Amino acid sequence: MILLFIMMVIVTVDTLLRYLNLNTIPGVYEFTEHYLMVGAVFLSMSYVMKLNGHVSLDILVRKFSKGWLKKINLFNCIFVISFLFLIALTGMEMAVDAFNSGKVGTGLVPWPFWISYSFIPLGAVVFFLRLLFNIIIIANDLFSKSNSYN
C-alpha cells in the first residue's frame, strides 16, 4: 500500500508539473515501472493470500464438500509452493547477475536493476512462507482425529 501511495503521489506531481509547463521529475516513469510496480506486485502476494483475496473459481468451489475443499486447497498450496521456488530461484539469479554486472536502466536516471530484481525473490519467499503456514493449518485440520467432515 505504501508503494502504491508513493506511485500515486509522484505520478500525480509529475503530471501536474507537465501540465503547468514546468520541469518534470527525471526518471519517474522508470522508477515507477521498474521499482514501484514490481514491488507492489511481488511484496503484496502474501498479504493478499492472508486476506483470501486471490482469484478463485467460486462456481466450482460451491459444488465440493468441506473435506474435498481442504484437500484441493492443500494440493493447490503445494503446487504453488513448487512454482514459487522456481520464481524465487530465478529472481535471485537475476538480482545477483544485475548486481555483479552493474546493470542499470537506460533512462535519464541510471537506476540499478538489482534492487528491483530483489523484490521478486523476497516476495516469493514471503509468499512461500505464507503458503507453508497454510499447508500446516490445512494438513492439521485434515488429519486431526476431531475432523468430522472427511
31, 34, 35, 37: CA torsion to nearest 10: 110
Residue 113 lies in a domain: yes
Q: How many whole angstroms separate alpha carbon 99 and alpha carbon 114?
A: 5
Domain of 41, in residue numbers: 2-143
| CA-to-CA dists, residue 18 to 5, 15, 29, 108, 141, angstroms | 20, 5, 13, 16, 57
Residue 149 lies in a domain: no
In this prediction, residues 11-38 reach a mean pLDDT of 87
Residue 61 lies in a domain: yes
Q: How many whole angstroms separate alpha carbon 30 and alpha carbon 113?
A: 11
Phi, psi (5° rounding) for residue 112? Answer: -75, 130
Task: Give SS3 for 32.
Answer: helix
Residue 50 lies in a domain: yes
Q: How many whole angstroms separate alpha carbon 12 and alpha carbon 26?
A: 14
Q: What percent of the chain has pLDDT over 90?
A: 41
Q: What tens digit of pLDDT does each residue of 72-113 get?
A: 888 988 999 999 999 999 999 999 999 999 999 887 888 899
Residue 119 lies in a domain: yes
On whether the CB atoms of residues 43 and 123 are closer than 8 A, the answer is: yes
Residue 18 lies in a domain: yes
Residue 148 lies in a domain: no
On whether the CB atoms of residues 33 and 109 are closer than 8 A, the answer is: no
Give the number of domains in the chain.
1
pLDDT at 149: 52
pLDDT at 96: 96
